[in-house]
Amino acid sequence: MKIAIVGCGSRHSMFAQSIGEDYPDKHEVVAMCDNNPHRLGIAAAAASRAGTNGVATYDASAFDDMIAEQKPDTVVITTPDFLHADYIVRAFEAGCDVICEKPMTIDLSSLKQITEAQRRTGRQVRVTFNYRYSPARTQIKDMLASGTIGTITAVDFRWHLDRVHGADYFRRWHRQKENSGGLLVHKSTHHFDLLNWWLASTPTKVMATGQRAFYRPETAVEFGLEGRGERCATCPVAAKCDFELDMDADANLHALYRQAEGEDGYFRDLCVFDEDIGIEDTMQAHITYGSGATANYTLTAYSPWEGLEIRFQGTKGELIHKHIEVHGVFGGERAHAGKDSVWTELHLAGQKPEQIEVPVAEGHHGGADPVMLGYIFDPDNMEPDAYGRASDHVAGGWSILTGIAANLSIETGSAVDVQTMLDTRAITLA
């Protein structure tokens, strides 16, 4: 399969490396495009194979020329979120299938463009929800689907981003909703997709609250950071700021972003306490599903640790799952947790709680990435997927609809009926 990649920031490398290192006999990256020639050059050099003419490179403005000239079968999209829909539609129209980073898109108008283009062309988009492929998350799916706790009635789901990972969304392009849809779309799309998949249902009503409680100028004053600068690289108080991002100390960030600033003026290290940040850092949603189950969801972006906690209530008992990914930040270093920091507990009515042995695997995202990439790039040599983990435009759409409805609820202060929201825009997900 001939593959073209649009977007050469850090996320593209998972796909390019997998193609070049794991499946070079099956697939080839034939072209790449980006609006930053420096990053484009780095990406193309890394993806070029010995004994070939290398990977063809195109400016982002020449995307259509790239498709016409290189004739890829599939386009991998790893651009900022607000650009996904445009590239998906153009790839469809050119006869290509698509592999797209999450979220599939960020708002209702672009969702409609994708669904209409899909029906018109018959092309397919694969949204890369790698969390579905984690052995621990798949085990949860298996237990729920087999009726271990009976009919699921209620869920409590809390996701914690620590003050390294969480802060990063407030210093780059994600910090404005017109770019990312906010964390309820950009980040929570993973979590809402898991809920849709685990419950085998979709949301019908969403009520949400959200605020920027931590990443704001008042917090900088509280931390003694008066006189802070626009960005870390030139900030006069960076040396005493726990949130400093020193791109010159990180070889990858230095090469991809620091050295590329002169090309497009994009700063990767803006101050996380800026006044004009447009996204929330503290969000809660109450979600009703078509199955009758309800869920309470919380996301915070400044937790002292990183990971998830989830509790499923069912007619036969409850299932609890917790995964500590990072214990915390100590002395400037993130203390990543080991494999023993994942546990699942089953407590059936009338019985003692039982600790369930959780399967583990090697690789990023709890072993999910290698499994997902195997199903994408070498499906014939993978076991049949009994769990339906592949995500198309329908799953991609439903995953963002909870976040879009939550954003609307925060804006209006009212509960949002999801089907009414779709009907208003004449959007059909099928």
Structure confidence at residue 390 (pLDDT): 96
What CATH number matches the domain at 131-214+278-361+391-424, 3.30.360.10, 1.20.1250.20, 2.60.40.3080, 1.20.140.10? 3.30.360.10
Structure confidence at residue 333 (pLDDT): 81
What's the pTM value of the predicted model, to 2 decimals?
0.96
Structure confidence at residue 336 (pLDDT): 87
What does the pLDDT look like over 208-255, one tens digit per residue? 999 999 999 999 999 999 999 999 999 999 999 999 999 999 999 999
Q: Is the pLDDT of residue 83 over 80?
A: yes
Residue 364: pLDDT band (50, 70, 90) is confident
Q: Is the pLDDT of residue 339 over 90?
A: no
What does the pLDDT look like over 25-59, one tens digit per residue? 999 999 999 999 999 999 999 999 887 778 999 99
Domain boundaries, the chain: 2-130, 131-214+278-361+391-424, 217-264
CATH fold label, 2-130: Rossmann fold (3.40.50)
**Common-topology check for domains 2-130 and 131-214+278-361+391-424:** no
What does the pLDDT look like over 101-144, one tens digit per residue? 999 999 999 999 999 999 999 999 999 999 999 999 999 999 99
SS3 sequence of the chain = CEEEEECCCCCHHHHHHHHHHHCCCCCEEEEEEECCHHHHHHHHHHHCCCCCCCCEEEEHHHHHHHHHHHCCCEEEECCCHHHHHHHHHHHHHCCCEEEECCCCCCCHHHHHHHHHHHHHHCCCEEECCHHHHCHHHHHHHHHHHCCCCCCEEEEEEEEEEECCHHHHCCCCHHHCHHHHCCHHHHCHHHHHHHHHHHHCCCEEEEEEEEECCCCCHHHHHHCCCCCCCCEHHHCCCHHHCCCCCCHHHCHHHHHHHHCCHHHHCCCCCECCCCCCCCCCCEEEEEEEECCCCEEEEEEEEEECCEEEEEEEEECCEEEEEEEEEEEEEECCEEEECCHHHEEEEEEECCCCCEEECCCCCCCHHHHHHHHHHHHHHCHHHCCCCCCCCCCCHHHHHHHHHHHHHHHHHHHHCCCEEHHHHHHHCCCCCC
Structure confidence at residue 363 (pLDDT): 72
Q: Is the pLDDT of residue 365 over 80?
A: no
Average pLDDT value for residue range 265-277:
97
Structure confidence at residue 360 (pLDDT): 82
Residue 308: pLDDT band (50, 70, 90) is very high
The percentage of residues in the chain with a pLDDT greater than 70, rounded to a whole number, is 100
Structure confidence at residue 331 (pLDDT): 74
